[in-house]
Amino acid sequence: MAESPFDPTSHPHRRLNPLTNEYTLVSPHRMKRPWQGQTEPPQPADLPQYDSKCYLCPGNQRAGGAQNPDYEQIYVFENDYAAVLPPPGPEAPSAPHPLLKAEPAQGGCDVLTFHRRHDLTLARLSLEDVGEVIEEWCKIYEKRGKQEGINYVQIFENKGAMMGCSNPHPHGQVWSLSTVPTLPATELANLVKYSLSKPTPSDAPRGPKGQPCLLCEYAHFEVGVPLEEGRVVHKNEHWVALVPWWAIWPFEILLLPYKRHVPSILHLNPDEKVSFADALSVVTKRYDNLFSCSFAYSMGIHQRPLPSLTLDIANDDDDIAHLHLHFAPPLLRSASIRKFLVGFELMAEPQRDLTAEQAAVRLRALSATHYLDAQTTDGKLHGF
C-alpha cells in the first residue's frame, strides 16, 4: 500500500467534521464485501388515504383521549406525552457530588401533520403543500421561541419504521426547551470560533459584522467544485443539497442556503422559501427513488436558538448561526439493508464504506420525479 499515492476511493482515511470536531472513518476499499448483517422487513405499500386507526388522521382519537379536528391540511397539537413539561420548573437541587451534575429542563413538544392524507410524505406533496409546511415551521419557531422560559427550538422529522416511527402519516415534531441541547450548542460554539478566526480570504458570503461563517464558506466551496467530482446533489437558485465531506450516514445530506448568510427560517425571503420547498421536494423524491421505497430518515433544522427580534442580520451574537438541515437516513444497499451505528461506531467513532463523493454520484443520477408517479415502459406504475 505504501507505494501508491493516496486515493480517497481506495485508501482508508478519516475525515473531520468542523461543526463538531469529530471524525468519521472511511473504508472505501470495503465496498465489495458480501452482506452478512441483518435485513429489514419491507415497508407497507398501498397505504389508504385515511386510516381509522391512525392517531394523526383528521377526526380520529389519540391515545391520550383527545380527538383531532377534521383538519384540512396541516394540524398542530401539543404532544400528549411530551418529553418536557411547561416552564417554570423547580430549582435544581445541589449536586450529590461534583461529578453528578443535573439541571432542570422545561419546555413544550409539538406535533405537526404535514397533510391530512395518510398516504403522502414530503416527497409526494405538491410544491405548494411543501411551502405550507415551511410556513408552519416558521410560525411555530416564532411562537414557541417567544415564550417565557424557552431558549431553544428544535424542528425535526423522524420517518420510517426502521427509525422507530411506526406511523407513516406525514408529520414532524418541534421540541422547545429551556436549554440549548448538546449538538446545536457544539455547532454554535464552532461557528463562533470560526467567525473569530482568520481563514484564507475567499469570495464566500460572510456572516454578521463581516465575520467569516463556516457554513457560508463551506457551501461556497462545494458549489464551486466541478459537479462530477464533488458532493453536490442538487442546487437551485438559493439552496444546495450536498453529501457533506464528513458524512456519517451512507446517503446523509446537508441542505442549506448558499447565496447569503441566513441565520434562521424567519430570515428567508419569499424567493428563498420557494427555493427551499423545491430543494426539500427534490431531496425527498430522490431519496425515495434510490431504492424505490418510502425512504426512512431523521431530519433536523439547525438555526438560531431563538427567533431574532429583527430580521436584519448582525442583530445579535446568535446571528452567526447559519440555517441548515441535516438528513440522517440509515438505508445502505437496498430497501432492506441498513447501516447500524453500533460496535466500533458507538464505542470509538463512526465508520462508512461508500465515500461522500460516491454517494453524491448515486443521488445525482436519480430522477426528480417520484417513482410512484412515474410510468414504467410497460405502462404500469412502479411499486414494490
Binding site partner of 2, from its own copies, Zn ion, none, Cβ cut-off 5-8 A by kind: its own copies
Nearer to its own copies, 1 or 309 (CB): 1
Task: Give the range of 101-109, 169-177, 184-192, 202-210 binding Zn ion by CB under 5 A.
Answer: 184-192
Q: Which helix (H) or strand (E) holds 176?
A: strand 171-177
User: How far, in Å, CA of 137 to CA of 127, rounded?
Assistant: 15
Stretch that binds Zn ion, among 27-35, 120-128, 185-193, 360-368 (CB under 5 A): 185-193
Copy the grid coordinates of residue 80: 400528549
203 binds, among its own copies, Zn ion, none (CB under 5 to 8 A by kind): none
Task: Answer with the entry of Zn ion, its own copies, none that 348 interacts with (C-beta below 5 to 8 A by kind).
Answer: its own copies
What sign for the dihedral angle of Cα 220, 221, 227, 232? negative
207-242 in b/e form (b: 16+ CB < 10 A) is: bbeebbbbbbbbbbebbeeeeeebbbbbbeebbbbb
Catalytic residue chosen out of the listed positions 115, 118, 169, 171: 171
Three cell numbers written together for 233: 446533489
| Contact flag: residue 252 with Zn ion (CB under 5 A) | no
Taking the C-alpha atoms of residue 232 and residue 364, their distance in angstroms, rounded to an integer, is 8
What is the closest distance, in whole angstroms, from the C-beta atom of residue 373 to its own copies in the complex?
A: 27
Residue 187 or 222 with smaller CB distance to Zn ion: 187
Phi first, then psi, for residue 308 (nearest 5°) are -80, 155
Given a contact cutoff of 8 angstroms between Cβ atoms, the answer to whether 50 and 344 are in contact is no
> Which of Zn ion, its own copies, none binds 218 (CB below 5-8 Å, type-dependent)?
its own copies
With CB under 5 A as the contact rule, the residue among 129, 136, 187, 318 that binds Zn ion is 187
Using rule CB under 5 A, residue 157 touches Zn ion:
no
Quote the least distance from Cβ 351 to its own copies, whole Å: 6
Asked if residues 37 and 337 have their Cβ atoms less than 8 Å apart, the reply is yes
15: helix, coil or strand?
strand
Report in angstroms the alpha-carbon separations of 372 from 36, 364, 381.
30, 19, 6
Question: Which residues within the stretch 86-105 sit at the binding site for Zn ion (CB under 5 A)?
Answer: none
Note if 261 is an active site residue. no
Q: How far is the CB of 289 from Zn ion (least distance, A)?
A: 25
Q: Which does 305 bind (CB under 5 to 8 A by kind): its own copies, Zn ion, none?
A: none
Q: Is 326 helix (H, G, I), strand (E, B) or coil?
A: strand
Binder to Zn ion among 285, 286, 302, 304 (CB under 5 A)? 302
Query: Shortest Cβ distance from residue 381 to its own copies (Å)?
Result: 27
Calpha distance 124→282 (Å, rounded): 10
Please tell me the count of residues contacting Zn ion according to CB under 5 A.
Answer: 2
Q: Is residue 272 a contact point for Zn ion (CB under 5 A)?
A: no
Q: Is 322 a residue that touches Zn ion (CB under 5 A)? A: no
Which residue has the closest beta carbon to Zn ion?
302
Binding mask 122-141 for Zn ion (x = CB under 5 A): --------------------
The CB-of-270 to its own copies minimum distance in angstroms stands at 27
Please say which residue, 29 or 370, places its beta carbon nearer to its own copies: 29
The item of its own copies, Zn ion, none sharing an interface with residue 182, based on CB under 5 to 8 Å by kind, is its own copies
Residue 187 contact among Zn ion, its own copies, none, beta carbon within 5 to 8 Å by kind: Zn ion
Nearer to its own copies, 238 or 338 (CB): 338
Chain position carrying cell 473504508: 27
The Cα–Cα gap between 364 and 359 comes to: 9
* Count of all residues that appear for the chain in the document: 384
b/e code 26-52 from CB counts within 10 Å (16+ = b): bebeeeeeeeeeeebeebeeebeeebe
Q: Nearest approach, Cβ of 154 to its own copies (angstroms)?
A: 5
Q: How far is the CB of 203 from its own copies (least distance, A)?
A: 14
The residues, ordered by sequence, that sit 6+ positions from 368 with a Cβ below 8 Å of its Cβ are 234, 282, 285, 286
Query: Are the C-beta atoms of residues 12 and 28 closer than 8 Å to each other?
Result: yes
Task: Report the residue number, 274 or 331, with the smaller CB distance to its own copies.
Answer: 331
User: Catalytic amino acids?
Assistant: 171
Which residues contribute to the site for Zn ion (CB under 5 A)? 187, 302
